[in-house]
């Protein structure tokens, strides 16, 4: 049974509190336990008929007419601005939505997330000098992001041409090519794929590193005071992408582990077995900001604080860097002439 969002002591609003990991009253600071937090979400077999769970509770779905993304909240929770683009052009609908099998609750509060974002900005060498002024905490939204999380085994048969280069006594480089073939087993555990187009899968895997031992069975209470992003990628379309990206990873491993300087004409035939998955909500701080009329999004792992995203590049910094390279090149030319 879902806990009501109103505090029994004072009638104030209950929200999920990062520091306690429970519900906390915004008015009197009372703490209410969320039950079943030790029940971990498990993976199930993936088949051609796999479908997601349908919600038995009503959620409010907000559709943004500016960016087209859909966000869900508990019915009692209002959403004013789109967490993806910041606009307020939201259309409100009460609908039945798919719900996750599990959820990894936030551990990083807004203040620490902003610190992570500021540190990330300082490391953007090409970013404009005034960019930090645009990094305001008002635009930072705690959002549960939908993912598909897979385990699977791969058996691959491969063949290709290995290239070796050596320098002869005459100073010339000699190249030889050798045909090779083989097979290998690769296991993928917690291979993440995005269930929404807001964050590309590669970017999500770059920032993921979530603690899956803290993945609990989904409960609505974890969304109190937070936002959930609806999925817009079908699981079967997702696994097609996963097969492609994991195969690229296998091919990369074959090349790296080969005894050759480079590999040409690599052919890899991969079979996928023991496929399991679950559909999860993972915690992501979304920070949108505008620079000269263009919107940039940054994504912060709600557990570790790791940041992924993009920042504008300063024209003048790049201009003077190129100018400096040209100047050094001209100087070296005259010194060695």
* pLDDT digit string, tens, across residues 293-313: 777 778 899 999 998 877 666
Q: What pLDDT score was predicted for residue 209?
A: 77
| pLDDT-derived band at 280, boundaries 50, 70, 90 | very high
Q: What pLDDT does residue 285 have?
A: 92
Nearest Cα to 148, choosing from 106, 100, 186? 100
Binning the chain into helix, strand and coil, the percentages to the nearest 5 are 25, 40, 35
For residues 55-65, give the mean pLDDT: 79
Distance CA 13, CA 27 (A): 7
Least-confidence region, from 34-38, 160-164, 232-236, 320-324: 320-324
CA 201, 202, 203, 207 torsion: positive or negative? positive
Whether residue 181 has pLDDT greater than 70: yes
- Write down the mean pLDDT value for the chain: 84
331 vs 327: CA distance, rounded Å: 6
Q: Is the pLDDT of residue 334 over 70?
A: no
**pLDDT of res. 246:** 95
Share of the chain above pLDDT 90, in %: 37
- Structural tokens at position 64: 């943004």
More confident residue, 83 or 178: 178
Residue 138 has pLDDT above 60, yes or no: no
Highest mean pLDDT among 74-78, 113-117, 249-253, 322-326: 249-253
- pTM, to two decimals: 0.81
pLDDT at position 214:
85
How confident is the model over 245-274, as pLDDT tens digits?
999 999 999 999 998 999 999 999 999 999
């Amino acid at each position: 049974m879902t806990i009501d969002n109103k505090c029994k002591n004072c009638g104030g609003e209950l929200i999920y509190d990062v520091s306690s990991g429970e519900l906390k009253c915004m008015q009197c600071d009372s703490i209410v336990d969320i039950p079943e937090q030790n029940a971990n979400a498990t993976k199930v077999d993936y088949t051609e008929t796999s479908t997601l769970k349908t919600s038995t509770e009503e959620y409010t779905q907000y559709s943004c007419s500016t960016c087209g993304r859909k966000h869900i909240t508990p019915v009692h929770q209002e959403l004013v601005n789109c967490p993806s683009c910041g606009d307020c052009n939201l259309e409100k609908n009460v609908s039945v939505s798919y719900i996750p099998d599990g959820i990894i609750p936030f551990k990083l509060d807004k203040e620490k997330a902003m610190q992570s974002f500021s540190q990330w900005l300082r490391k953007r060498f090409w970013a404009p000098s005034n960019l930090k002024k645009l990094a305001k905490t008002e635009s930072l939204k705690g959002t549960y992001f939908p993912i598909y999380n897979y385990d699977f085994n791969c058996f691959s048969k491969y063949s290709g041409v290995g290239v070796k280069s050596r320098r002869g006594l005459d100073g010339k480089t000699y190249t030889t090519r050798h045909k090779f073939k083989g097979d290998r087993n690769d296991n993928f555990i917690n291979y993440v794929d995005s269930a929404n187009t807001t964050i590309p899968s590669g970017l999500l895997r770059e920032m993921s590193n979530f603690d899956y031992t803290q993945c609990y069975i989904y409960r609505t209470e974890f969304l109190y005071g937070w936002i959930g992003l609806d999925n817009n990628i079908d699981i079967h379309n997702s696994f097609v992408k996963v097969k492609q990206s994991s195969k690229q990873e296998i091919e990369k491993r074959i090349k790296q582990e080969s005894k050759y300087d480079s590999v040409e004409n690599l052919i890899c035939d991969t079979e996928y077995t023991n496929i399991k998955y679950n559909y999860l909500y993972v915690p992501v701080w979304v920070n949108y900001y505008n620079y000269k009329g263009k919107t940039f999004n940054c994504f912060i792992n709600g557990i570790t604080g790791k940041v992924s995203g993009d920042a504008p590049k300063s024209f003048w910094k790049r201009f003077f860097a190129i100018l400096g390279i040209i100047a050094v090149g001209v100087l070296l030319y005259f010194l060695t002439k």
